[in-house]
Amino acid sequence: MSTRLQWLEPGFGDVMAARLVLPLGSAADPPGQAGLHQLLAGSLTRGCGSHDARSFAEWIENQGASLRCEAGDDHLQIMLKGVGSDRHVLLPQLLEMVEQPAASDDQIELERDLNLQTLQRLEEDPFSRAQDRLRQLMFGDGPYGHDPLGTTASLQRLSSQD
């Protein structure tokens, strides 16, 4: 799988959406580091280039845009929606997120803690627990044997150095 950029201008209003798909899914998480690529995805929204987390969030908001990053089994997606006439400033910022990530250690730790909270909520949901069990039965310790969020134990071991 290669890197892809998808650009959509839906034909109504001055709206655009871009999705950058990178071949960095959770199946590529190293052994013992389940959740690493989801942590990376979340951390990409916490600063890039000369922007720290706060100034980056403010910049996105001031553009009237929305930004979301997540890792699936086989890919990491960065999704950006905004005003079509702002594409000349939005697209370079999207690329800067990948080329110059700049999340601080405390922001990465915050993202890790948020992922741990999400995992805790999922562990209380019977459907999610059944889905995790099925995944483990089908794939065992293989690359697809864990949720992209990882496990509580693996996330607790991850740090900004990983």
What are φ and ψ of residue 81, in 5° steps?
Answer: -125, 145
In a domain, 162, yes or no: no
What is the per-residue pLDDT for 10? 67
Range of the domain at 116: 4-157
Q: What CATH number did the domain enclosing 113 receive?
A: 3.30.830.10
**How many domains does the chain contain in total?**
1
pLDDT in tens, the chain (162 residues): 677 777 777 667 788 899 999 999 999 999 999 999 999 999 999 999 999 999 999 999 999 999 999 999 999 999 999 998 998 999 999 889 999 999 999 999 999 999 999 999 999 999 999 999 999 999 999 999 999 999 999 999 998 888
What gap in Å lies between CA 67 and CA 69, rounded to an integer? Answer: 7
In a domain, 96, yes or no: yes
Give the residue from 57, 39, 35, 36 showing the smallest Cα distance to 47: 57
In a domain, 136, yes or no: yes
